Structure 1
Amino acid sequence: MASDMSLKDFEGRTTGTDLEVQPVVKDLESVYDIPVQISAVLGRCTMPISSLMKMGPRSVVELDRKVGEAIDIYVNNRLVARGEVVVVEDRLGITMTEIIKSDRG
């Protein structure tokens, strides 16, 4: 399930203990400017180099996903969400429909 909350929604909230009264937003401010790589993967395929070399304009590469199937969203090469492709004005965008819970503790 996707969440529509932003970091502004956390302003004024505390981390949950009496000793820690700093708002959650203050705790996150140090990471705001760290760049991350975001990738949206529509699908994958495997082919021999000989087939790749024969490709030209208007060639079609068949992917392992079906039309309407969710795409994978990676942050720094780690799967974090699934979503759908959307059109925003004259550009493509992604709507996150599912957040993937990490096994890291």
Structure 2
Amino acid sequence: MSEQDQSQVTEAEATTARSVGPAFDFVIDVPLELSVEVGGARLLVREVLQLKEGSVIELDRSANDPAEVFVNGKLIAKGEVSVVEDRLVVQISEIVGEQRGKADSGSE
């Protein structure tokens, strides 16, 4: 991770710490499982058994669709997958919960 990327992460951590406040201090360091899904496929057992090195599996999304970001199995965001210094990264383009909250508040 570059110094600029590390700086952005540090700034994001500081912003998060300020926004959650002291009421959440006891859970702020609890580890969460984050995963990113770029697509999926349904295969028959026969097809799975035929997989070998070099096999290609067609996923249910196009190359232009955003990846989905999950925390502990819950969809929280969508973003674009790219490569930075030989590492896969996801740049968040949409926070799913915020969009849902905006839609809910507009209907009242």
Give runs of ≥4 in structure 1 deviating > 6 Å. 10-13
Q: How far is 1:10 from its partner?
A: 6.2
CA RMSD of aligned residues (A): 2.5
- Using CA pairs under 8 Å that are at least 6 residues apart, name the structure with larger relative contact order, 1 or 2: 1
TM-score (norm 1): 0.74
- CA drift of 1:32 comes to 2.0
How far 1:12 sits from its partner (Å)? 6.5
Q: SS at 2:25's partner residue?
A: helix
- Normalized against structure 2, the TM-score is what? 0.72
Structure showing the higher helix proportion among its residues: 2
Alignment of 1:72-83 (within 5 A): 72-83=68-79
State the Cα deviation string for residues 28-49 of structure 1 (Å, max 9, x = none).
Answer: 3212221111110000110101
Residue 33 (structure 1) aligned with residue 39 (structure 2): no
The answer for the alignment partner of 1:100 in structure 2 is 96
For the pair shown, the structure with the greater C-alpha radius of gyration is 1
Pick aligned residue for 1:46 from 33, 39, 42: 42
SS in 2 for 1:59: coil
Counterpart of 1:86, as a letter, is S
Displacement of 1:89: 0.4
Counting matched residue pairs gives 91
Confirm or deny that 1:6 pairs with 2:12: yes
The gaps in structure 2 that reach 5 residues or longer are: 1-8, 102-108
* Matched-pair identity in %: 30
Structure 1: which 5+ residue stretches go unaligned?
Answer: 14-23
**How far apart, in 1, do the equivalents of 2:29 and 2:60 lie?**
35
Q: Aligned with 2:63: secondary structure?
A: coil
Structure 1 residues 50 and 67, CA gap change in structure 2 (3 angstroms): same
